Amino acid sequence: MTKAIYPGSFDPITNGHLDIIERAAGIFDELVVAIMVNPDKAFAFSLEERMDMIKESVKHLPNVTVDFSLGLTVDYAKRIDAKILIRGIRAVMDYEYEMQQATANMMLSPEIESVFLLSSPEHSFVSSSVVKNIVMNHGDVSYFVSPYVAQKLIERYSNL
């Protein structure tokens, strides 16, 4: 049984993230979407809110669970016996950053492999930052996130 993790901040989860999750869930026996907690970073949504949005978004995928962790992703992967780290690549800039991270992870834990999944073309420009910017300016985010996440975004930014 092959277990993979898809780590990230997911602030919030977008349809681009969901595309990667659905495709990875079709490849691996078990997929853990792992919210990696960074206490030095400011987030629009709390850990609990992000977990709620992800769980709602992946409820149709029986082999996907949602969890969170502090610290190094490879340490978390070892703790849950995951051998694969999934990373989404949207553009060359993502690849350069992800290659650096994957190389560091290889040095720390050579038994854990990084697997890059290319974003589907229709999601290659979508990021959580872009989505938050659109909703802060009262734009329609229905193409970029699920209806549930769109409602959470509207509630969060309605007073701006």
Region 55-73: what's the mean pLDDT?
97
Catalytic residue among 23, 55, 90, 156: 90
Nearest to 31 by CA among 15, 56, 7: 7
Rounded Cα distance between 17 and 6, Å, is: 9
pLDDT of residue 36 exceeding 80 = yes
Region 117-132: what's the mean pLDDT?
92
> How far is Cα of residue 31 from the mean position of the Cα atoms in its chain?
12
What φ, ψ does residue 72 adopt, rounded to 5°? -75, 140
60 labelled catalytic: no
Asked if 74 contacts 108 with a C-beta cutoff of 8 angstroms, the reply is yes
pLDDT of residue 159 exceeding 80 = no
In the chain, what are the domains?
3-121 (3.40.50.620)
90 labelled catalytic: yes
Pairing of strands 30-37, 64-70: parallel
pLDDT of residue 148 exceeding 90 = yes
